Copies of this chain bind each other. A is one copy, B any other.
Amino acid sequence: MIVVMKPGSPQEQVEHVIQLVREMGLKDHVIVGQERTVVAVVGDDRFKDRSVLESAPGVDKVVPILAPYKMASREVQKERTVVPLGGRIKAKVGGTTVAVIAGPCSVENKSQVLEIAHAVKEAGAVGLRGGAFKPRTNPYSFQGLAEKGLELLALAREETGLAVVTEVMSIDQVGLVNRYADVLQVGARNMQNFNLLNAVGEQAKPVLLKRGMSATLEEFLLAAEYIMSKGNTQVMLCERGIRTYEDYVRNTLALAAVPELHRVSHLPVVIDPSQGTGKSYLVDSMCRAAVAAGADALIVEVHNDPEHALTDGAQSITPKQFSEMMNSIRRIAAAVDRNV
């Protein structure tokens, strides 16, 4: 990190900073500029609390240099991580093939989940999404079928071979969800639920980690680092739109996150255009754009009767629209030397 002193800070303040740096087990390197003195700190300060130095007298600001994550960083691992999804289809996320995970927002009943599962399977999906535990903003809204929902997802997997991707909301659900799911999903609202991150980090199943709705990429990668540091390195990073002032969408889908995450991390990147826009009529074009931008997978909400969906009807596409979307992204994937 670089400690920037205020203009005119006396030598004793600079020396005090040097002393604090040495207390941290780091080396200092003082540069006296025309207007300011700067103390460059040499050594692995990745896990030091730089805010401490900001409190020292005469310090103007402290600029970090090293990324604070390690296992998630491409500096540490050059080769891309490929995550096997599970299920009979044995698809992978992170290779040449763009994996598509699709299904209803919530598992509602047997015929709903089976009908959707068969439809998306037929159109080319390799994973089935569906919530059994639903994080709802409103306490009075439908909260999901819980274990009954998990059983229905497992049944759909048996029938279709699709890998089951479903959310775990709380540490006390981890064991249960782990028994049924192929992939544990951590939702955007829980991206910094650190106890949950630790708990899924101790499982042997891959994790689909959603970016928090106002998380920086650094915070996102640090959340992945929580999971990885517990031993589970099968993490997929899912961009699902961020909160901005924009009002024609529920979230602003930040597709530049795809190449940037690929640049700084070796983990595969998944795009959720359903949450990422909140509007079913924007899903198709954002799926195309995501694949063109280099996404390794898509996760898409599909409902056979959006008007009667218990949750998120406005952002769900129908099986027919899904099938058309799959055809359109097959062409895009070919144009970037991948396939679906």
Q: Please determine whether B256 and A141 come into contact, CB atoms closer than 8 angstroms.
A: no
Q: Please determine whether B260 and A248 come into contact, CB atoms closer than 8 angstroms.
A: yes
Q: Please determine whether A20 and B313 come into contact, CB atoms closer than 8 angstroms.
A: no
- Find the residue from A35, A193, A222, A307 having the highest chain B CB count within 10 A: A307
Residue of B nearest to A305 (CB): B55
Q: Is A225 an interface residue (CB 8 A)?
A: yes
Residues of B within 8 A of A289 (CB): 255, 289-290, 292-293
- Interface positions, chain A 189-214, Cβ under 8 Å from B, are 189-190, 192-197, 213-214
Give the contacting residue for A222; candidates B139, B142, B247; CB below 8 A.
Answer: B139
Complex Cα distance, B43 from A43, in Å, reads 26
Residues of B within 8 A of A217 (CB): 246, 248
Complex Cα distance, B294 from A282, in Å, reads 11
Q: Please determine whether A309 and B55 come into contact, CB atoms closer than 8 angstroms.
A: yes
Q: Is A249 an interface residue (CB 8 A)?
A: yes
- Tell me the smallest distance from the CB of A22 to a CB of chain B, in Å: 13
Residues of B within 8 A of A192 (CB): 135, 137, 189
Q: Is A124 an interface residue (CB 8 A)?
A: no
Complex Cα distance, B222 from A65, in Å, reads 26
Complex Cα distance, B288 from A263, in Å, reads 17
Asked whether A55 and B316 contact (CB < 8 A) given A192-B135, A246-B242, A292-B291, the answer is yes
Complex Cα distance, B45 from A38, in Å, reads 15
Give the contacting residue for A138; candidates B34, B222, B254, B281; CB below 8 A.
Answer: B222
Complex Cα distance, B214 from A33, in Å, reads 32
Q: Is A79 an interface residue (CB 8 A)?
A: no
Q: Please determine whether A38 and B38 come into contact, CB atoms closer than 8 angstroms.
A: no
Complex Cα distance, B196 from A282, in Å, reads 33
A interface residues, how many (CB within 8 angstroms): 107
Residue of B nearest to A309 (CB): B52
Complex Cα distance, B288 from A121, in Å, reads 28
Residues of B within 8 A of A247 (CB): 216
Complex Cα distance, B280 from A58, in Å, reads 14
Q: Please determine whether B309 and A282 come into contact, CB atoms closer than 8 angstroms.
A: no
Among the stretches A85-93, A156-164, A165-173, the one at the interface with B is: A165-173
- Interface positions, chain A 240-284, Cβ under 8 Å from B, are 242-249, 252-256, 258-260, 263, 276-277, 280-282
Complex Cα distance, B257 from A253, in Å, reads 10
- Interface positions, chain A 52-79, Cβ under 8 Å from B, are 52-56, 63, 65-66, 68-69, 75
- Tell me the smallest distance from the CB of A284 to a CB of chain B, in Å: 8
Asked whether A244 and B248 contact (CB < 8 A) given A44-B35, A52-B309, the answer is no
A35-B44, A216-B245, A256-B276 known; 5 new pairs, CB 8 Å cut-off, are A51-B313, A55-B306, A139-B222, A171-B171, A256-B285
Q: List 7 A-B contacts (CB under 8 A).
A: A2-B2, A49-B311, A49-B313, A52-B308, A52-B309, A253-B255, A288-B293
Interface residues of A (CB under 8 A from B): 2, 4, 7, 20, 29, 31, 33-36, 38, 40, 42-44, 46-47, 49, 51-56, 63, 65-66, 68-69, 75, 135-142, 169-172, 189-190, 192-197, 213-214, 216-217, 219, 222, 225-226, 229, 242-249, 252-256, 258-260, 263, 276-277, 280-282, 285-286, 288-294, 306-316, 328, 331-332, 334-336
